[in-house]
């Protein structure tokens, strides 16, 4: 089965215009794809529907075999544990160490200390920040802060990673590093969707591009 399936999805914000207009798309399990389009094209909206931050006006969203219309509000936190979200502004807690930031999703689930330490270190190792676990995010570079955000997103072993403009605040070299990190995570089996308007950064990478234009999916 596909990890992501959209069937004729429409999203109209209350009082607003059409953010997504009859979008149908599939992401295969294990696939990585870039979601491109100008500002306002609907990229964030598409990701918010997958993260159950917004609900569609019409149509169906099925993630890893689960029809999201059937996920009741009380079960949203549990659903989100298996979808790793990565943000442009990192969304880190600046009064907590790198270790504690990455541990947070596991602490929320009530996982034991020993297992948390093992998994946090494995995730920090994956992003190359093992030696930074005791530091505070403010002392890290932007690229390092984003890698903390990625470690936090993968620590729950998500079925799917969603990154919304993950390199939006980074210079070209650091952006390329982050994209290489996503490539590595994908090579170990994680399905990944990355929204970006930095087409120049991704067009040579050889991954599928899903293009949105004013809420419409473009062919290709
Ligand atoms: P992108 O991520 O590609 O920039 P968005 O999904 O953020 O696009 O926005 C798509 C459209 O939906 C835009 O016209 C935007 O103004 C509108 N929109 C986004 N969020 C809201 C909201 N909460 N309420 C009303 N309109 C919104
Ligand atoms: P386990 O042995 O229990 O499968 P690991 O020790 O291999 O777990 O990894 C520990 C944590 O690091 C896991 O929670 C996992 O989500 C994360 N992690 C490490 N590498 C990856 C990766 N390539 N993709 C996603 N998550 C990863």
Tens digits of per-residue pLDDT, 162-209?
999 999 999 999 999 999 999 999 999 999 999 998 888 899 999 999
Segments in the chain below pLDDT 70: 220
Q: Do 55 and 72 touch, CB atoms closer than 8 A?
A: no
Q: Which of 10, 19, 56, 214 to mutate to test the pocket of ligand 1 (most atoms within 8 A of CB)?
A: 19
CA separation, residue 79 to residues 51, 162, 184 (Å): 9, 14, 25
**Which residues have C-beta atoms less than 6 Å from ligand 2?**
119, 122-123, 126, 154-155, 157, 185, 188, 190
3-state secondary structure the chain: CEEEEEEEEEEECCCCCEEEEEEEEEEECCCEEEEECCCCCCHHHHHHHHCCCCCCCEEEEEECCEEHHHCCHHHHHHHHCCEEEECCCCCCCCCCCHHHHHHHHHHHCCCCHHHHHHHHHHHHHHCCCHHHCCCCHHHCCHHHHHHHHHHHHHCCCCCEEEEECCCCCCCHHHHHHHHHHHHHHHHCCCEEEEECCCHHHHCCCCCEEEEEECCEECCC
The Cα 149–Cα 160 span in angstroms is: 15
Ligand 1 contacts CB of residue 11 (under 6 A): no
Residue 77: exposed, middle, or buried by beta-carbon count in 10 A (0-12, 13-18, 19+)? exposed
Could you report the predicted ipTM of this complex, rounded to two decimals?
Answer: 0.75
Q: Which of 122, 151, 183, 189 to mutate to test the pocket of ligand 2 (most atoms within 8 A of CB)?
A: 122
pLDDT at 136: 98
Q: Which of 39, 41, 45, 216 to mutate to test the pocket of ligand 1 (most atoms within 8 A of CB)?
A: 45
pLDDT at 220: 59
Ligand 1 contacts CB of residue 156 (under 6 A): no
Do strands 160-164 and 191-195 pair parallel, antiparallel, or not at all (unpaired)? Answer: parallel
- Atom 24 in ligand 1: which residue has the minimum CA distance? 13
């Amino acid at each position: 089965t596909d990890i992501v399936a959209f069937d004729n999805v429409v999203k109209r914000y209350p009082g607003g215009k059409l953010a997504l207009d009859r979008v149908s798309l599939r992401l295969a399990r294990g696939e990585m794809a870039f979601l491109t389009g100008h500002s306002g094209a609907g990229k964030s909206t598409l990701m918010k529907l997958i993260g159950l931050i917004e609900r569609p006006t019409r149509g169906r969203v099925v993630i890893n075999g689960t029809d999201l219309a059937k996920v009741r509000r009380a079960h949203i936190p549990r659903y989100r544990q298996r979808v790793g979200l990565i943000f442009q502004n990192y969304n880190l807690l600046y009064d907590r160490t790198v270790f504690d930031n990455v541990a947070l999703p596991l602490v929320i689930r009530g996982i034991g200390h020993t297992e948390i330490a093992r998994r946090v270190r494995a995730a920090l190792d994956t992003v190359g920040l093992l030696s930074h676990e005791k530091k505070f995010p403010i002392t890290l570079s932007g690229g390092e802060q984003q890698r903390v955000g990625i470690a936090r997103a993968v620590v729950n072993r998500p079925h799917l990673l969603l990154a919304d403009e993950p390199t939006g605040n980074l210079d070209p070299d650091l952006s390329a590093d982050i994209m290489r990190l996503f490539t590595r995570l994908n090579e170990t089996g994680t399905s990944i969707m990355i929204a970006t308007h930095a087409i120049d950064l991704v067009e040579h990478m050889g991954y599928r591009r899903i293009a949105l234009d004013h809420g419409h999916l473009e062919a290709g």
